[in-house]
Structure 1
Amino acid sequence: MPISPNQGSSGGGTLVSITGSNLSGTTTVRFGTRLATSVTNVSPTTVTAVSPSGTGAVGVTVTTPGGTSNPIPFYYVGAPFKQSLSPSFGSTAGGDTVTINGTGFSSATSVSFGANTAVPTVVSDSRLTVVAPAGAAGSVSVSVTTAGGSNNGLSYTYVAAPTVTAVVPAEGPESGGTAVTLTGTGFTSTNQVTFDGNPAPFTVISDTSVSAVTPPGTGGPVDVAVTNDAGTAILADAFTYIAGPGI
């Protein structure tokens, strides 16, 4: 007499389907010693019931006018507990693999990032990995759903890839030291600014503005790049190094 699913939340409320023979006239379904609720005699071979609360493994029995069946196992599962996730940020385009640590993950079926869900890979009862779906810039709650229920408590921050639209002033001496302002978008989590691949000291003014000081360079136009947690934006030939006079 199979039962599906054969596990559910320790809080109860799991709708299970029990199949067998001679199930017409079912009067009660018990999970261990506790009565199930919402028992429905679907057919002579199928009964559905909603599990009561419980813990551990219990035997499920069906009682009809002809007697009581042998027990079949049903396993109560506690709600998952999340301890940490890494990384805690990623691109709005999604695609970043996130590792979540905690307990009770063995039966995990989905992970929600705000309103968007993804199917996880269960590594162990204490660890799972999931590829973050696409999402809007900002922080969202992360929720893991298992046979035992769902649990939130952790957050994930979506970061938009940067864009660079202008560098002002657009020229300066080869010796470096020119204070410039970069304008664009997605600058809040900037972690590097480079001129022709050379790192420059910088300060984030806002999500659309970064100030930087040019490093030394070679005469001519060079690319300026801004990197944040979601990627790198390059503005080609955005700054020109001017050679000093020679006598």
Structure 2
Amino acid sequence: MEYMITTKELTKKYKHFTAVNDISLHIRKGSIYGFLGPNGAGKSTTMKMLLGLTAPTNGKFSIDGKTFPNDRISILKEVGSFIESPSFYPNLTGRENLDIIRRILELPQSAVDESLELVGLTEFSNRLAKKYSLGMKQRLGLAGALLGKPPILILDEPTNGLDPSGIHEIRNLIKSLPAIYDCTVLISSHMLSEIELIADDIGILNHGRLLFEGSLDELRQTALEVGFATDNLEDMFLSMIGKDNKSRKQRAKL
């Protein structure tokens, strides 16, 4: 099996707090990998390490056969990213903001038009970014990640702030990307019902530790074996997180 992203015992510590604790991920090439966990579980920190925005305390990772930190620049050239709330130059239009990224990446002008069309922003491309709604800013951030059709996409809460119609559109877009662009997608979201509809594999993180990694079918089998509800991803997720939190409290009392 060919993996596009792997981590080995990846760890990030901040003084007395461990944000990411010894996790080993295996993200298959051409797959959509749903990265799940409560607030503060370490999802965003993991994504930032993969993008070189923060350095691991321990462990290592590779992306498309390239290792960090030796191949950091080569890795970044292959990755489109959307991390937390994207920031833009408010007094520039959506198109102008994307054009800055395009020039940095040395892409043709057509790349901007393609990305705007993909996320449904073509008719608003000449509006100032400061006049964009939250949902439109999310779309613009996704358009920036898609510039140049990168083989790897790292998306942190890409549907945040979108209305139900927008969520549906972006979900269908993300679901189609591996087939359209032959890309691999790592996506985090609190909308578990959406992840259930698009993800091939799931990773569940809690308090910086990886509780589960595998396909949805494997997650259902794991949940069934321990007596959890298996009706939907949200039930399985909450049961797994609840069990881990209970175990942590019991260990803390010892």
Instruction: State the TM-score bracket (shorter-chain normalisation).
Output: under 0.3
Q: Which has the higher strand share?
A: 1
Q: Which has the higher helix share?
A: 2
Q: Which has the larger radius of gyration?
A: 1
TM-score (norm 2): 0.23
TM-score (norm 1): 0.23
